[in-house]
Amino acid sequence: MSTPEIPQPIYEVDPWCIYEKELHLDRLAQSESVFALSNGHIGLRGNLEEGEPYGLPGSYLNSFFELRPLPYAEAGYGYPESGQTVINVTNGKVFRLLVDDEPFDVRYGKLHRHERKLDMRAGTLTREVEWSSPADDRVRITTTRLVSLTQRAIAAFCYEVEPVEGPVRIVVQSELVANESLPHLGDDPRTAAVLEHPLVSEEHVSNGRRVVLVHRTRRSGLRLAAGMTHEISGPERLAVEAESFPDVGRVTVAARLEPGQRLRIIKYLAYGWSSRRSRPALHDQVVAALADARLTGWQGLLDQQRRFLDEFWSGADVEVDGDPEVQQAVRFGLFHILQAGVRAERRMIPSKGLTGPGYDGHSFWDTETFVLPVLTYTYPAAAADALAWRHMTLPLAEERARQLGLKGAAFPWRTIRGQECSGYWPAGTAAFHINADIADAVIRYLDATEDTEFEREIGVELLVATARLWRSLGHHDVHGGFRIDGVTGPDEYSALVDNNVYTNLMAQRNLRAAADIAMRNPDVAERLGVTTEEAASWRDAANAMVIPYDERLGVHPQSENFTNHARWDFSETKPDQYPLLLNFPYFDLYRKQVVKQADLVLAMHLCGEAFTPEQKERNFAYYEAITVRDSSLSAQTQAVIAAEVGQLDLAHDYLGETALMDLHDLARNTRDGLHLASLAGAWSALVAGFGGMRALNGRLRFAPRLPGGISRLAFRMRYRGRRLCVTVTSEQARYELHEGDPITLTHHGREFELGGEPVELPIPPMPTPPRPRPPQPPGREPAPRRTDPSGRPLRSPRVGDLQLSQTPPG
């Protein structure tokens, strides 16, 4: 049985927009994810306004969830008893249209034109439709929607209908709908659990053109209020009615339109939720938010959205000449990364953002390791909020550590509210590296911002709690080395290993940073009970950390004895047997040399100072041959290190894979929501890969080099109150300071001062010629970014064999 080909791309290539020029009913769910709008608090999938047809309905509020049991065939001590699942909340996107009594449904009548556009500068999703009913009445429908980046509780819609030929009778029903029916999502354990009717009605009120519904969850004890109000314009004679029921609120507008007339409905939608506040308080909250939105007005919301995004792009934009698909994709990724975190405000950033229910809406280590670096250098306030959320859940992490017999804090592998929700121990609890990933994100944020208030209020406690975990989890052996045994690193095809290099290096950084931050903030450290002896023990453990090295092969084993394992037999693995985790038992994967996602290679990216250039080259070549990329997280890391070791064309290939993960639906599960970490990877591959950007201890370094398929790269970033722009060609790099005080930078090892005048420096030749391009496992090569005469990249015949997952079954 052969693997079906990945469908061809359905979106027009444009540098600032995602265009869908015609409706693809078989790809609705993918487009609903791609066209999702969010602000980190509210998330609305890009469903059609009329509600049907749909791939997967979706309206989400950050951290609004329901509980579900986690069944075990054989329970064990320390296993979490309950899971948390994001739920589809009250849907306010719906506008049902009747044209002379015929419901507007794209599956009936005749669809003359259907176009949608996600505008990443305006922050809006627009739709233009021309449709004839089965009775041959032709109308034009134009819609615009936004989720406000400036008013946290608000989304807004403009819905316009006009006749194309003769007069028509029009009825528009603007609705709030709770407990929508959801489709069966299949038996794939990676998809979200489906919860039927999770909301219980507490109140429904209609008044004029306003409706408010209040619900609560059955198990998690959360309360939700959703409200809508309208501004309506059109012919002089209009009929407007409002009504409400337990799960439906409706404002109905009826009009007769002559040619040249138009019915226009502006809908303001507000949400509020809480685990503590009363029903009247939430009701009043959404009414107040609606009043504020109406005061701002539709045009005011559009203007606020554009100004906000103009400011964001001034310190975040990336320009790519030579690869138009990647140009579109990197902005698409930045836009969705911003949407995921901009108004999260001390709540999590899920792995899918608020674009779909994949992975139950959980947050993983993906956030700190892949998403927060992008936000740290483009919109640092959102990175601070995400880490503040981790700090708020610290008591739960400390309780979990005590349950495991450890000190400090053991943060959950997957969660919504801070409790561990992974029922699979080897890839969940044993993946202790998440604690160091959180610490690394704190270190990076403090380095990039010099935010002393954050350091004292949040940073010290997070670094101290995670350092205490490592000191209690590891031990000094008879040779004096500090070992961390029985853990799982980033590669989930190896579990419960000793001295995973990534984990040990990240723990080492965590321990040293905790000792340093305690010394800088002695009063906070004293409050936390940190003694001089304890801080010294952290430094001792860090200095004695065991970092395995295979002298025979001249490479770092991913973990102790990894290079002594039998190699996976790729010649006997069929293309349709990927991802391996769905076709082979874990015990077989765990005892073989086969890598799901970059692990040792990720260590070389994040802890590059621990490796020599020659070690990086040898390690990279070794792990390329056994890494199957059954995870969407992997390609970006391989792109960064491929660029660093001189494999520029291979890095470009990996860049294409991570950047186009959702626009081309490479993993075939974009329907469940976007892969935020993979989208972040486009930025990482370009800025950290081809830009060679590294930052540590107040030093911002660049080592830019471009592949043959990219003629120019320019990127903007923020660092320590500065706004910088770096422009790279094959021959030189130009550095500009757009805002802030002069700064010392490094270009290919050469320090220079950047002030008011741009600095141009040549790109030096590589110190040594790169090694031959390393091979990948058969059939797992990334699609080449070769181009046709028009400059459009050609698709690889092997890309149809690529199937990915992001995390193992939970």
Catalytic residues: 492
Tell me the pairing of strands 743-747 and 699-702.
parallel
Alpha-carbon distances of 731 from 147, 250, 716, 757, 761, rounded to whole Å? 43, 62, 19, 20, 9
Nearest CA among 32, 42, 45 for reference residue 227: 42
Alpha-carbon distances of 520 from 196, 379, 387, 390, 442, rounded to whole Å? 52, 26, 20, 22, 15
Question: Is 110 marked as binding a ligand?
Answer: no
Cis peptide, bond prior to residue 53, ω within 30 of zero: yes
Question: Is 366 marked as binding a ligand?
Answer: yes
Amino acid at 411: F
Residues 6 or more apart in contact with residue 142 via CB below 8 angstroms:
126, 127, 128, 129, 158, 160
Residues 6 or more apart in contact with residue 381 via CB below 8 angstroms:
none
Query: Contact at 8 Å (CB) between 148 and 183?
Result: no
Nearest CA among 639, 566, 624, 578 for reference residue 776: 624
In a 3-state reduction of DSSP, which class is residue 122? coil
Distance CA 734, CA 754 (A): 11
Helix (H) or strand (E) holding 476: strand 475-476
Q: Cα-Cα-Cα-Cα dihedral of 409, 411, 412, 414, to 10°?
A: 180
Radius of gyration (C-alpha) of the chain in whole angstroms: 27
Question: What does the block give as tokens for 251?
Answer: 């404002």
Q: Match 């306030």 to its residue by tokens.
A: 381
Apex CA 58: angle with CA 231 and CA 186, to 5°?
A: 160
Tell me the pairing of strands 592-593 and 566-567.
parallel
In a 3-state reduction of DSSP, which class is residue 505? helix
Helix (H) or strand (E) holding 540: helix 532-543
Distance CA 290, CA 313 (A): 29
Binding-site positions for substrate: 365-366, 596-597
Binding-site positions: 365-366, 596-597
